[in-house]
A and B are shown apart, each in its own frame.
Chain A
Amino acid sequence: MEFEAVIGLEIHVELNARTKLFCDCPNNPGDEPNINTCPVCLWFPGAVPRLSQEALEKAALLCLALGAELQPKSAFDQKVYYYPDLPKGFQLSQAHLPLSRGGGIDITDEDGTTKRLRIHHIHMEEDVAKLVHEMEGRVPISLVDFNRAGAPLVEIVTEPDFRTPYQAMEFLKALRTQVRYAGSSECSMENGTMRVDANISIRPKGTGQMNTKVEVKNMNSVRHVGDAIAHEISRQSACVQAGETVVLHTRLWDPDKKVTLPMRAKFEGPCVPDPIVPAIELSQQDIKALRSRLPEMPAARAERFVSQHGLTGEEATFLSTDPDVAAYFETLLGQGIAPRTAMHWLTTQLIPAVRDRGQELGTTPVTPARFAMLLKMLSNDEINANAAREVLVHLFDSEESPDAIVHARGFKQVSDRGELDSLIDRVLGEQPSAVNDFRAGQSKAMGFLIGQIMQASGGKANPKIIRELLAKKLEKM
């Protein structure tokens, strides 16, 4: 029997708001343990939670960026359970009245068709504290770090529209792009600012059955989500084919063994409306004002790159996926760099170099202004491409301007025809066999000679002029 999978995702995104969700403590969970705490986020008696306006706005922008409909009224509920990382006994979440409903993302599926993957709703919630398990001598101890307690989260709950690991991975990549554009979160699975749970069930292909689902957690990259789903589909298929029934439970992905393993379920109680935090009411005007704060989103930006700058769809999509890359690209254009030159040098040289050095495009010392100056020297024929690549290396290591580096280190291109003329004569004299080859009709010999001349110039010769002069000379010979 052929099976197909029915997959839904629950995605927790930690908002990059300055403070926690209900108090003024810094939202920096990675700091020294229990530094970013106050009576509110330590959940002490007498503390009153106050919803952060910034976190609400970041969450709302995230919803809008995912095409969701902000609800005129949403409210917090208490998800009641006790666990040492939640010593308050309940987590404030939006169970009954979520911040937004609907929305979704169009992805390009494996067969090239467009598939709509819908979002059921998006709600806000507070994060719990972090448990750290250690040994004190031979006694295992558990420590609680409240830096994360009360950190602002949203949970994106999708419809069970997914059928393949590929769709889930494409959805997550597109979601990450949208949310980064909205400025609400970095959405890094590696750093834990995006956490994905997948609910997976299988059914005979072509039927509309909804069978018992299994929840899979603990994937820390988009690739792991795909692997875990693929593993779970084959595990369940084998299970059903062996005549066993799938039982409702939660499994953890083991990235080393590449298998999912069952985990003990955490007890969760019902949700009751929170009597303290006031309901969130958004008027049509509020929503309009929020919408106007969304930047141009990646799809629109890519389209504009194609129509305005003559890039191909693929190039435009690549440049617009990361808002930092897109912004860098546009700054280069603003400095008068031609779109194709900017695109080519950004994607083939700068981005790999920045990545190799573990830097970010937004903060690298090779600022758009410096990089633009370099590209300008290239297009003005002051330096050639070889030299530009070398100058780029120096730009990472020194604060000097590209201009200064070119002059100080002699990268300036030699375009003087007289100088090049004698250089060519010298190389032709040294390479009589290559000259003969060329005259015998071997056009490859031309490339060899150009290479030799470039080498002789220490890489500084203007290759365009060399080619022109050499061709004339060889013709006359």
Chain B
Amino acid sequence: MDSIFVYLNPETVSEGSGPLQGLKISIQPNISASGWPTDAGSNALINFKALVDATLVSRLREAGAVIKGLTRMSEFGFGLAGSRAGDAVSRGAVDAELVLDLMGESRLAAQRAVVCGFKPSYGLISRYGLIGLIPSMENCGVLSRSLKNIREMVKIIAGPDEKDFSLPDEKLPDFSPQKVNPKKTTVGVITETKSGLQGDQESALHAAIDELKEAGFRIKEMSFPDFSLFSLVHKIVGSVEASSCAGRYDSVRYGHRVPGAKNWNEMYLSSREEAFGLLVKSYLFQGAFFQFQRYDAYEDACRIRARLLEDMQKTMSKADFLLLPAANGVPTDATASLSGTYEQFSPTVFANVTGQPALYLPSASGSAQSGFQLAGPRLGDARLFAMGEYLLNLRQGGKS
């Protein structure tokens, strides 16, 4: 089996000092650390070394954390085939891992590792230095056994960055510990997510509903008729973004190059043909197809996305949190087809389309069976942490 780490930091002590003193963190090769091999798991970037630290990396270092190294990732972090995300945490090699969440990767990796996984609100964490594929859908996720660790890290890395103007002007969440009153807290369960569940997804969801009811939360069943469209919208809009995003991988300044081409055009085409793996290549093809052949369908998908956002806002106005199922099992390389990948991530992809925060929590039984997801409104990240920590506390016999 491939090793978990593809690069280990020769420095083992922290450079800064602060609230994260001594915390060991791993990142992946699509998160820039100056001078480290940053190939985003793709031959298209082979030999590329980051020129600068990503904003979140420099903030973690300043706060005293040690970046231990880079863990093996899927190509461009799209899906989890070939990725070892989550393994470093589950084996105790690090306290936390950073994993880009394009369609639910940080949450599914957490599920695989039986730890907590968090995807922040879109724009909450600077994207400067992150080598993404689907800019409007992705953000950096965090995995750890300890939800408190995740909260402390997000508190450090969140917030405006003069190098990334896409962060919202809205007021930042207050990440200090908050009280949760179950009797005044409504958790919505979307009817449409309860049907078609497979394997232990269904029993895990029911176990979660029971756990919340027992803790005194109000469970409210709500309908979201178009929930299944999240996957479709992500697939179309995401692939178009990926296609133009990956247009720059031309083998000229870095990346795999096929020698002997007669001209630049041939070099571009043949190098790209060899550089990209099958899954990413089919995704890029699909994006190019919508961009060049079916632009109307792409525009429709953008309109549907705007409508889904409105629907989600309405839904979130009637509940404090949403409870959603986790994925059915964990991905293997056998599922690394485009449709297989989307099927795998169908429970998580909604949060990437809407930009809202979502949290994966392992099941109460502590076994490797499916846990569940909690989601909050956009920029409700701090409340979501409070809710998660409240539940985990109860499990350990604490009161609140």
Q: Which residues of A contact B (CB under 8 A)?
A: 39, 42-48, 50-51, 78, 80, 82, 84, 87-90, 142, 269-270, 272-273, 275-278
Contacts and interface: CB of A to CB of B under 8 A. Distances in A.
A276 B166 contact: yes
A44 B51 contact: yes
Contact of A46 (B130, B134, B165, B241): B130
A51 B292 contact: no
Given A80-B247, A276-B166, A270 B295 contact: yes
B244 A272 contact: yes
Nearest to A50: B165
A48 B295 contact: no
A43 B135 CA distance: 15
B32 A46 contact: yes
A88 B241 CA distance: 13
A39 B51 contact: yes
A90 B244 contact: yes
A269 B292 contact: yes
B52 A89 contact: no
B135 A276 contact: yes
Contact of A82 (B130, B131, B250): B250
Given A46-B54, A82-B247, A90-B244, A273 B302 contact: yes
Given A46-B54, A46-B128, A272 B248 contact: no
A90 B247 contact: yes
B128 A45 contact: no
A46 B131 contact: yes
A46 B248 contact: no
Q: Is the interface of B mostly helix, strand, loop or mixed?
A: loop
Given A39-B52, A46-B32, A275 B135 contact: yes
B164 A87 contact: no
B136 A45 contact: no
A272 B45 CA distance: 24
A204 to B, nearest CB: 36
Given A87-B252, A269-B291, A46 B50 contact: yes
Contact of A45 (B45, B134, B164, B302): B45
Interface in B301-318: 302
Nearest to A23: B163
Interface in B223-247: 240-241, 244, 246-247
A44 B203 CA distance: 46
A94 to B, nearest CB: 16
Contacts of A273: 302
30 contacts: A39-B52, A42-B253, A43-B248, A45-B40, A45-B248, A46-B38, A46-B50, A46-B129, A46-B131, A47-B128, A48-B126, A48-B164, A50-B163, A51-B165, A80-B291, A82-B247, A82-B250, A82-B268, A87-B253, A89-B248, A270-B295, A272-B241, A272-B244, A272-B291, A272-B298, A275-B241, A276-B135, A276-B166, A277-B165, A278-B166
A278 to B, nearest CB: 6
A119 to B, nearest CB: 27
Contacts of A87: 248, 250, 252-253
B244 A78 contact: yes
Q: Which of A39, A44, A269, A278 has the most CB of B within 10 A?
A: A44
A375 B128 CA distance: 60
A264 B134 CA distance: 33
A45 B166 contact: no
B247 A48 contact: no
B244 A50 contact: no
Contacts of A43: 248
B48 interface: yes
Given A82-B250, A276-B135, 20 more contacts: A45-B45, A48-B128, A48-B166, A50-B163, A50-B164, A87-B248, A89-B247, A89-B248, A89-B250, A90-B247, A142-B264, A269-B292, A270-B292, A272-B298, A275-B134, A276-B127, A276-B136, A277-B166, A278-B165, A278-B166
